[in-house]
């Protein structure tokens, strides 16, 4: 019988122990990876479920906004009374619609007529000289209040207004006869002036001379709805910083920008009642000519709007969904959605 030396036995035992430890560590690593994958998958599934819940909630918020706009229209009768900053649709953003600490839903309804419609200057595919001059004045006013040093604000309002008109009018040449597409064809990638109404304020970033900084400064003042048919600035809902960009005048006195005291008269009048864009009627609303010593306002103004921007923001715990849609309530029946985006 052969006797195995103790040294060899100890050596073999050490090898076995190392192999056992290796497989134990391998198993522990596999288990850790598996548990981590399970945790990640569970988190993804949970976030997906919460995102679906938040989106469904936001969709419900949009439907609620549509119902509010429809009820507002119904309550004002067939003729449609003037809008007001105190209407239910205007106060909807002040309310938290869900009484749950883990869930939040807020709906904001904004009158598209509360801003100056850049597409409202188009008539039969063209912008007249009065519209060009007003756009130049508007750009001059906005640039003047932009923060920054003068050398950082080297914009040319005349050139900007001309480029904007060329972007939206129906012809393909500039006022001096050059091709509108020339500055855009030199870009990478090249593109063309669309010669149609703007689809969003963000589209201004594509127009020659406009940059992100200027577009961001313009956003509180301008909009693009309705895309056609004008609409006008709603004197009953426009904020004061938009009103001060309007002009007053008559055929005798000509046009001049509104002063702060003029804006204050309009703001006070609408707080005490409502304003009619034309002559005062039997409803008791006040006309601009009464407030401005016989002058009228430019560009076009109105007392009621048909297009609204609805933003519904829903949160389920730490997951949020935002739906923005543009709603037109002109036609009879349920309001029509013009755009729809989910973020």
Q: Reply yes or no on whether the pLDDT at 220 is more than 60.
A: yes
Q: Reply yes or no on whether the pLDDT at 230 is more than 90.
A: no
Candidate from 14-28, 86-100, 157-171, 294-308 with smallest mean pLDDT: 14-28
Q: Categorize the per-residue pLDDT at 3 as very low, low, confident or very high, splitting at 50, 70 and 90.
A: low
Quick one: what percent of the chain has pLDDT higher than 90? 60
Average pLDDT over residues 164-188: 92
Question: Strand pairing partners for 296?
Answer: 249
Between 189 and 9, whose confidence is greater?
Answer: 189
What are the chain's domains?
Answer: 52-113+306-342 (3.30.1300.30), 117-219 (1.10.40.60)
DSSP secondary structure, 20-66, as one string: HHHHHHHHHHHHHHHHHHHHHHHHHHHHHHHHHHHHHHHHHHHHHHH
Between 279 and 106, whose confidence is greater?
Answer: 106
Average pLDDT over residues 117-130: 94
Report d(CA 174, CA 158) in Å as an integer: 13
Candidate from 83-87, 139-143, 242-246, 312-316 with smallest mean pLDDT: 83-87
Average pLDDT over residues 295-303: 91
Question: Strand pairing partners for 298?
Answer: 247
Report d(CA 56, CA 53) in Å as an integer: 5
Q: Categorize the per-residue pLDDT at 97 as very low, low, confident or very high, splitting at 50, 70 and 90.
A: confident
Q: Categorize the per-residue pLDDT at 316 as very low, low, confident or very high, splitting at 50, 70 and 90.
A: very high
pLDDT at site 79: 64
Q: Categorize the per-residue pLDDT at 45 as very low, low, confident or very high, splitting at 50, 70 and 90.
A: confident
Average pLDDT over residues 32-40: 78
Q: Categorize the per-residue pLDDT at 11 as very low, low, confident or very high, splitting at 50, 70 and 90.
A: low
pLDDT at site 1: 52
Quick one: what percent of the chain has pLDDT higher than 70? 94
- pTM of full prediction above 0.85: no
Q: Reply yes or no on whether the pLDDT at 281 is more than 60.
A: no
CA 231 vs CA 115, 256, 319: distances in Å: 10, 22, 37
CA 6 vs CA 1, 13, 16, 287, 325: distances in Å: 15, 10, 15, 113, 84
Contacts of 63 (CB under 8 A, 6+ apart): none
pLDDT at site 141: 94
Q: At which residue do the structure tokens 């109105």 appear?
A: 302
Q: Reply yes or no on whether the pLDDT at 6 is more than 70.
A: no
Asked whether 161 and 132 are in contact (CB, 8 A), the reply is yes
Q: 43 is written with which tokens?
A: 């988190």
Asked whether 162 and 175 are in contact (CB, 8 A), the reply is yes
Report d(CA 268, CA 134) in Å as an integer: 26
Span 47-69, pLDDT tens digits? 899 999 999 999 999 999 999 99
């Amino acid at each position: 019988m052969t006797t195995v030396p103790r040294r060899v036995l100890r050596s073999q035992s050490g090898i076995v122990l190392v192999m056992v430890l290796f497989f134990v560590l391998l198993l522990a690593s596999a288990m850790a990876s598996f548990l981590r994958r399970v945790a990640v998958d569970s988190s993804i599934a949970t976030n997906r479920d919460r995102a679906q819940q938040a989106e469904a909630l936001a969709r419900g918020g949009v439907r609620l906004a549509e119902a509010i706009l429809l009820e507002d229209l119904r309550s004002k009768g067939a003729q449609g009374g003037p809008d007001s900053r105190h209407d239910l649709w205007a106060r909807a953003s002040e309310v938290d619609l869900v009484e749950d600490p883990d869930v939040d839903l807020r709906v904001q309804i904004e009158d598209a007529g509360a801003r100056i419609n850049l597409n409202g200057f188009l008539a039969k595919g063209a912008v007249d000289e009065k519209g060009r001059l007003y756009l130049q004045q508007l750009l001059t006013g906005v640039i003047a209040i932009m923060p920054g040093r003068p050398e950082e604000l080297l914009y040319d309002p005349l050139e900007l207004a001309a480029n904007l008109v060329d972007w939206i009018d129906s012809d393909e040449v500039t006022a001096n006869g050059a091709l509108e597409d020339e500055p855009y064809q030199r870009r990478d990638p090249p593109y063309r002036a669309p010669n149609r109404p703007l689809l969003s304020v963000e589209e201004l970033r594509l127009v020659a001379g406009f940059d992100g900084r200027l577009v961001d400064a313009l956003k509180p003042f301008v909009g693009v709805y309705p895309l056609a048919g004008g609409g006008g600035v709603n004197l009953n809902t426009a904020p004061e910083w938009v009103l001060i960009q309007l002009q007053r005048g008559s055929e005798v006195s000509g046009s001049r920008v509104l002063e702060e005291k003029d804006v204050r008269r309009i703001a006070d009048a609408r707080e005490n009642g409502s304003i009619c864009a034309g002559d005062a009627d039997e409803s008791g609303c006040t006309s601009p000519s009464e407030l401005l010593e016989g002058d009228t306002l430019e560009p076009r103004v109105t007392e009621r709007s048909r297009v609204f921007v609805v933003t519904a923001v829903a949160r389920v715990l730490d997951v949020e969904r935002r739906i923005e849609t543009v709603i037109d309530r002109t036609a009879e029946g349920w309001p029509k959605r013009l755009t729809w985006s989910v973020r």
